[in-house]
A and B are shown apart, each in its own frame.
Chain A
Amino acid sequence: MDRDSMAFGVCVSVNGTTKASPWCNEAPLCVGQRSSTLQGITRRERWRAARCLRAAAPLSPSSSPSPKTTNAAATTPVGSNGAPPSRRSDVPGGRAQEAEAAASNRYVQVPPSHIRNFCITAHVDAGKSTLADRLLERTGAVSAREMKAQYLDSLDLERERGITVKLQAARMNYVAQDGQQYVLNLIDTPGHVDFAYEVSRSLQACEGALLLVDATKGVEAQTLANAYLAIENNLEIVPVLNKIDLPAANLDMAAEDVQNVIGLDMSNAVRTSAKMGIGIEETLEAVVRYVPPPDASGAAKPLRALIFDSAYDEYRGVVVFFRVVDGRVCRGDRIRFMANGKEYVVDELGVRSPKPLSVDELGVGEVGYLLASIKTVADARVGDTITMARTPATTPLPGYKEVKPMVFSGVFPANADQYAQLKDALEKLKLNDAALQYESESSPALGFGFRCGFLGLLHLDVVIERLESEYGLQLITTAPSVLYRVHTTKGEVRPIDNPTHLPPLTRIERIEEPYTRIEMVTPAEYVGPLMELAQHRRGEFRDMRYLADHRTVLVYEMPLSEMVSDFFDQLKSRSKGYAGLDYRLADYRTSQLVKLDVAIHGEVVDAMSVICHRDSAQAIGRSLCTRLLDMIPRQQFKVAIQARIGAKVIAAEHLSALRKDVTAKLYGGDVTRKKKLLEKQKRGKKLAAERALSSGIRVPAEAYRAILTAKRDE
């Protein structure tokens, strides 16, 4: 496994809120245990997360000038060694900025030596979006007026309408203090751990990263992960201490923290307050000074461009965002995607300023987008290399991999009639979500549905949320499972993502499960409870480091399956909300795993089966039975709810028979009220009604996910 595929983790934040900004592409949390963790997040935030997975802002024809006009009117070529127009010296004071701003919204060509490709990496809430806004504003990519009107005020509304969603990249023109014209490409990165691979590709498209540190907080869980990710991708890191205007800011502490924990030299750290507009100029200067220019040595080589993002636009097909590494690409070129070999003709080529500006060609080091009548984002996968069809490069850029789902869940329509609609909806989502996988599945308990694979729990949650809200489906989802490797006695290795498919015990030699390396950053007083939590979840202690300000980093290795439950909720509650979490996939290890079945009135409900560790099976089984006791509707007969391993019952509860359920007094005044109650009961029944067991017991949808919150310890 190469480093990229190891990089499963970026961020998890406890506070988890992200400010709305066109830059903010961060899914605002978390190891999101669908049923439980995400309850802590508002609907709105979840919705935002959902939007982040959605299509890019449509490149509407009206907003993108035709190539001719663009070239004629807006292109200001600047010779590689010719004197750049030094506006600063010509026009004094504030007007210099204005004039620059006016010019900046245009396509300005500069040699590779004057291009800077960078990203901003930060813990959630460190002020990334605000800083990005300020940079755009200062360089005139977005005028102050537009900033207010378009990017701040109407943002929520626009997002809700799905107009402005995600800015994959923005190009800024900047005249530095050395008097020279630079082009700065800010590349947006998804912030969530589920999208670690995309993040790594975005970083690969950059030469530098601004590491934004909240001066009031110092190093946080994501700061660590992001910094390491940037270092792994060989980026020049420019530390920025933000929020210096706040009374709580402690610059020395924060700087010392970064220096001690990550080992970065903080002497050149830029000090900003994005909110107050302090240090913006210095930030831009630091980008010009410290971020290396792109390597232009491959200018004459065959085209190799890295796809770092792609998005589906309903009207124009897939918009591909790329970084030219070698050679050049022109409008009308016939290109090939090296991973899948598919060829397309470039219909439109352009840059985002952040408005789309159409251009004729893009050379080495440039960042841009292209349209080529591509039907689905799965055909233009992130990480793939674009080359010329006629003069192809011999080797693709390194690091491409097909993203593999990590978490699997059965998704069934609550109403069997909706199967076709569900299929249709999944197909549509797949157009813009290359990582989503699904295949049809049928379950005796739940009927026909799909086994879906997701990058992580947030991804799962977002997809389910979209299926329910955008496609009006009512779904029953089963407890998420990870991908197990089952070694059979015949010597085969079978990947199993569905507990139901586990071979009989006698044919299993051993089972391996994925392990993660987790880092919890917590105030010292919660170290005890968190260590206890990790140990209960089969965590193996690896390391403990001390940060400034009495904070501690706890490093554990833990099975991924233990995270796919209420782990994050527990982390939050045990640390009173203060601890942060980061995790990345480590490796596969053999564990003593068993399949735990649930039987209701003697009938094993296949969709409720889970794979768990032998030692915790008893506790989980007991807790599961207790939880189901509250969820399963009472019958006229006594119902046994059992947890079993094979034929052996390891825990059981009994649901008492329904003896009395009647409204004793119903007079005139009660009719309306009782009718409302009846309506409510009917809805609840109808939801579950489609899924009656052979005993006639109707199992409500929530019962299929009861395992998520089942206690793992006694």
Chain B
Amino acid sequence: MWVLSLQAAPTSAYVHVPFCRRRCHYCDFAIVPVGHSSRVVRGQTAKHVQPPPPPSTTLDTLYVDAVLREIAHDRRRLEEAGVGFPALQTLYIGGGTPSLLALSALERLLEALPLALDAEVTLEMDPGTFDADRARAYRSLGVNRASVGAQSFDDEVLWRCGRTHNSHDIALAVEALHQAGFGDRFSLDLISGLPGVDAPRWHRTLEQLMRYRPPHVSIYDLSIEPGTLFARWQRDRTLTFPAEEQAAEMYRRAVHVVAQRHGYDHYEVSNYARDSRHRCRHNAVYWRGEPYWGWGLSASSFVDDMRVERPRRLSDYLEWVRDGCLPSEAVRGGDLDEWLMLRLRTKEGVGIGAVCERFGVPVGDAVERAAQRLVSGGLLQRYAQGGDVALRATDPDGFLLLSYVLVELLVDVEKILSIGMSNAR
């Protein structure tokens, strides 16, 4: 199962750091609210670790120990297969709030990972959790890209989301990044469709965003996940959210301002780069369906065509590592559904020739035929990509309805293929 071929050994990795000061109201990620992560481990958590940690162990030490153990497991598996640990081209440390991690813990983590010379090393940092000195320290540890979860520039909106920072913190954070040399390597993340945001407010938010001229921008349309406070408030109608129509308009507005007016490269549904050099290389690995390592709580990996998800609870994760990191719930990945789902997110879309190459000519033909209806409906677009014909979602119409487009496309592809098969019979 874990015999890896050399080509397949991933050169990208995601490390999850689950610590947050508190949980934001829209968040359903695997996080551990800690106030601060360098607090001492007490009580139950220590029981999941073998041998028991010394009395003064802090939570982040304990956690990074577990992650390092996981990495060592994979390293050993590679060695058993006669392969060395390939140098990573991209590393993404996300969370949670990785900037809450003690520098020493981060240092131990980064030391364990072989990085290529020009590797992209991203660390998610939240406003209010770092200053210029700390940012410099990150830089000296090898971090060369920052992803800053600004979410909004409106204090009232931020407060309603349960964020621990305000707009002033964002300004300070951007300033600190510039001082520490991240000026050309950072991303500002926003959420559109937040409660209380109307068209004028959204416009002001976008204007403010553009004033920073960030090298990279992610604007995610709010999705209300079950179990979150937002979900509860929406159900109880204690908080009103923008209607679908309005949220769609915010998306269009963002495209208009960021991409059309300011010339950013809208290279994925929710991602913009000041120019194409500033695209995030790590996320592109996901969208191209390439393999990647995943380490840490709730992290997902895609190695040897298998997608494996790690436990989402800290105690479960620590036990899982203690018991030898056995891949429990592995799902085969890399099929057509996945390919189209991921590639159609990007500006480049999916090449018909590439589909033919990977899944066979009949499948490629079926995709092309199935796409016709969506092309004429203005949701997909055919264009020449090198020597190939490619399909991509139109911007913004196709992107806005991408899930719909995808289901329609896949259902039609299967219908065409099943008719083809029964004709062959």
Are A666 and B300 neighbours in the complex by a CB distance under 8 Å? Answer: no
Q: How far is the CB of A300 from chain B (nearest CB, A)?
A: 65
Report the bound CA distance from A671 to B302 in whole Å. Answer: 10
Near B by CB (< 8 A), chain A positions 614-673 give 636, 656, 658-672
Q: CB-nearest residue of chain B relative to A688?
A: B411
| B331 beta carbon closer than 8 Å to chain A | yes
Report the bound CA distance from A664 to B224 in whole Å. Answer: 11
Report the bound CA distance from A660 to B269 in whole Å. Answer: 12
27 inter-chain pairs at a CB distance below 8 angstroms, sorted by A residue, are A656-B245, A659-B244, A660-B244, A660-B400, A662-B221, A662-B269, A662-B399, A662-B402, A664-B223, A665-B218, A665-B223, A666-B342, A668-B286, A668-B299, A668-B302, A669-B299, A669-B309, A671-B286, A671-B341, A671-B342, A672-B307, A672-B309, A672-B333, A678-B341, A678-B403, A678-B407, A681-B403
Near A by CB (< 8 A), chain B positions 247-289 give 247-248, 251, 269-270, 283, 286-287
User: Which chain A residues lie closer than 8 Å to B244 at the CB level?
Assistant: 656, 659-660
Report the bound CA distance from A706 to B401 in whole Å. Answer: 28
Report the bound CA distance from A682 to B337 in whole Å. Answer: 10
User: Which chain B residues lie closer than 8 Å to A417 at the CB level?
Assistant: 422
Are B337 and A666 neighbours in the complex by a CB distance under 8 Å? Answer: no
Q: How far is the CB of A560 from chain B (nearest CB, A)?
A: 40
| A679 beta carbon closer than 8 Å to chain B | yes
Are A668 and B292 neighbours in the complex by a CB distance under 8 Å? Answer: yes
Are A672 and B401 neighbours in the complex by a CB distance under 8 Å? Answer: no
Near A by CB (< 8 A), chain B positions 64-85 give none
User: Which chain A residues lie closer than 8 Å to B342 at the CB level?
Assistant: 666, 671
Q: How far is the CB of B153 from chain A (nearest CB, A)?
A: 19
User: Which chain B residues lie closer than 8 Å to A401 at the CB level?
Assistant: none
Known contacts A659-B400, A671-B286; is A664 also within 8 Å of B248 by CB? no
Q: Which residue in B286, B337, B341, B401 is a CB contact (below 8 Å) of A667? A: B286
What is the number of residues of chain A that contact chain B, defined by CB distance less than 8 Å?
27
Report the bound CA distance from A679 to B345 in whole Å. Answer: 18
| A674 beta carbon closer than 8 Å to chain B | yes
Near B by CB (< 8 A), chain A positions 161-218 give none
User: Which chain A residues lie closer than 8 Å to B410 at the CB level?
Assistant: 678, 682
Q: Which residue in A665, A668, A681 is a CB contact (below 8 Å) of B270? A: A665
User: Which chain B residues lie closer than 8 Å to A681 at the CB level?
Assistant: 403, 407
User: Which chain B residues lie closer than 8 Å to A665 at the CB level?
Assistant: 218, 220, 223, 270
Most chain B CB inside 10 Å of its own CB: which residue of A659, A667, A674, A675? A659
Q: Which residue in A663, A671, A678, A682 is a CB contact (below 8 Å) of B300? A: A671
Known contacts A668-B292, A671-B338; is A661 also within 8 Å of B286 by CB? no
Are B294 and A689 neighbours in the complex by a CB distance under 8 Å? Answer: no
Given pairs A671-B338, A675-B338, A682-B407, 13 additional interface contacts (CB within 8 A): A656-B244, A656-B245, A659-B244, A662-B221, A662-B402, A664-B222, A668-B292, A668-B301, A672-B307, A681-B407, A682-B414, A685-B408, A689-B415
8 A-B pairs with the lowest CB-CB distances in the bound complex, closest first? A669-B300, A664-B221, A659-B248, A660-B248, A664-B220, A662-B402, A661-B404, A661-B403
| A686 beta carbon closer than 8 Å to chain B | yes
Known contacts A658-B404, A661-B401; is A674 also within 8 Å of B269 by CB? no
Known contacts A671-B333, A671-B338, A672-B300; is A663 also within 8 Å of B403 by CB? yes
Q: CB-nearest residue of chain A relative to B411?
A: A685
User: Which chain B residues lie closer than 8 Å to A689 at the CB level?
Assistant: 411, 415
Q: How far is the CB of A606 from chain B (nearest CB, A)?
A: 24
Known contacts A668-B286, A672-B307; is A662 also within 8 Å of B337 by CB? no
Are B338 and A664 neighbours in the complex by a CB distance under 8 Å? Answer: no
Near B by CB (< 8 A), chain A positions 102-139 give none
Interface string of B210-238 (1 = CB under 8 A from A): 00000000101111000000000000000
Are B220 and A662 neighbours in the complex by a CB distance under 8 Å? Answer: no
Report the bound CA distance from A675 to B332 in whole Å. Answer: 11
Q: CB-nearest residue of chain A relative to B246?
A: A659
User: Which chain B residues lie closer than 8 Å to A671 at the CB level?
Assistant: 286, 300, 302, 307, 333, 338, 341-342
User: Which chain A residues lie closer than 8 Å to B375 at the CB level?
Assistant: none
Are A662 and B331 neighbours in the complex by a CB distance under 8 Å? Answer: no
Most chain A CB inside 10 Å of its own CB: which residue of B309, B407, B415? B407
Are A662 and B400 neighbours in the complex by a CB distance under 8 Å? Answer: yes
Are B403 and A672 neighbours in the complex by a CB distance under 8 Å? Answer: no
Near A by CB (< 8 A), chain B positions 385-415 give 399-404, 406-408, 410-411, 414-415
Near A by CB (< 8 A), chain B positions 113-157 give none
Known contacts A664-B220, A667-B283, A667-B286; is A658 also within 8 Å of B401 by CB? yes
Are A668 and B300 neighbours in the complex by a CB distance under 8 Å? Answer: yes
Q: Which residue in A663, A672, A682 is a CB contact (below 8 Å) of B331? A: A672
User: Which chain B residues lie closer than 8 Å to A679 at the CB level?
Assistant: 337
Q: How far is the CB of A694 from chain B (nearest CB, A)?
A: 14
| B187 beta carbon closer than 8 Å to chain A | no
Are B247 and A660 neighbours in the complex by a CB distance under 8 Å? Answer: yes
Are A660 and B401 neighbours in the complex by a CB distance under 8 Å? Answer: yes
Q: How far is the CB of A583 from chain B (nearest CB, A)?
A: 42
Are A686 and B411 neighbours in the complex by a CB distance under 8 Å? Answer: yes
User: Which chain B residues lie closer than 8 Å to A686 at the CB level?
Assistant: 411, 414-415
Known contacts A664-B221, A665-B270, A682-B407; is A636 also within 8 Å of B300 by CB? no
Q: How far is the CB of B290 from chain A (nearest CB, A)?
A: 10
* Interface size range of chain B in the complex: 35 or more
Are A661 and B400 neighbours in the complex by a CB distance under 8 Å? Answer: yes
| B320 beta carbon closer than 8 Å to chain A | no
Q: CB-nearest residue of chain A relative to B12?
A: A668
Q: Which residue in A664, A675, A682, A685 is a CB contact (below 8 Å) of B269? A: A664
Near B by CB (< 8 A), chain A positions 572-603 give none
User: Which chain A residues lie closer than 8 Å to B186 at the CB level?
Assistant: none
Most chain B CB inside 10 Å of its own CB: which residue of A658, A670, A671, A681? A671
| B14 beta carbon closer than 8 Å to chain A | yes
Near B by CB (< 8 A), chain A positions 450-492 give none
Q: How far is the CB of A257 from chain B (nearest CB, A)?
A: 49
Most chain B CB inside 10 Å of its own CB: which residue of A656, A661, A689? A661
Q: CB-nearest residue of chain B relative to A665?
A: B220
User: Which chain B residues lie closer than 8 Å to A663 at the CB level?
Assistant: 223, 269, 402-403
Q: CB-nearest residue of chain B relative to A657?
A: B245
Report the bound CA distance from A199 to B390 in whole Å. Answer: 68
Q: Which residue in B245, B337, B400, B415 is a CB contact (below 8 Å) of A678? A: B337
Are B294 and A636 neighbours in the complex by a CB distance under 8 Å? Answer: no
Q: CB-nearest residue of chain A relative to B223?
A: A664
Report the bound CA distance from A569 to B234 in whole Å. Answer: 32
Report the bound CA distance from A661 to B244 in whole Å. Answer: 9
Known contacts A636-B377, A686-B414; is A662 also within 8 Å of B403 by CB? yes
| B298 beta carbon closer than 8 Å to chain A | yes
Q: How far is the CB of A674 from chain B (nearest CB, A)?
A: 7
User: Which chain A residues lie closer than 8 Å to B400 at the CB level?
Assistant: 659-662
Are A662 and B294 neighbours in the complex by a CB distance under 8 Å? Answer: no
Report the bound CA distance from A33 to B218 in whole Å. Answer: 52
User: Which chain B residues lie closer than 8 Å to A670 at the CB level?
Assistant: 300
User: Which chain B residues lie closer than 8 Å to A678 at the CB level?
Assistant: 337, 341, 403, 406-407, 410
User: Which chain A residues lie closer than 8 Å to B223 at the CB level?
Assistant: 663-665
Q: Which residue in A636, A659, A662, A664 is a CB contact (below 8 Å) of B245? A: A659
Q: How far is the CB of A658 from chain B (nearest CB, A)?
A: 6
Report the bound CA distance from A710 to B146 in whole Å. Answer: 56
Report the bound CA distance from A661 to B397 in whole Å. Answer: 10
Q: How far is the CB of A108 from chain B (nearest CB, A)?
A: 60
Report the bound CA distance from A177 to B8 in whole Å. Answer: 88
Are B14 and A668 neighbours in the complex by a CB distance under 8 Å? Answer: yes
Near B by CB (< 8 A), chain A positions 298-326 give none
Report the bound CA distance from A669 to B415 in whole Å. Answer: 30
Report the bound CA distance from A666 to B410 in whole Å. Answer: 18
Report the bound CA distance from A671 to B299 in whole Å. Answer: 11
Are A664 and B407 neighbours in the complex by a CB distance under 8 Å? Answer: no
Q: How far is the CB of A670 from chain B (nearest CB, A)?
A: 8
Q: How far is the CB of B3 from chain A (nearest CB, A)?
A: 22
User: Which chain B residues lie closer than 8 Å to A661 at the CB level?
Assistant: 400-404
Q: How far is the CB of B302 from chain A (nearest CB, A)?
A: 7
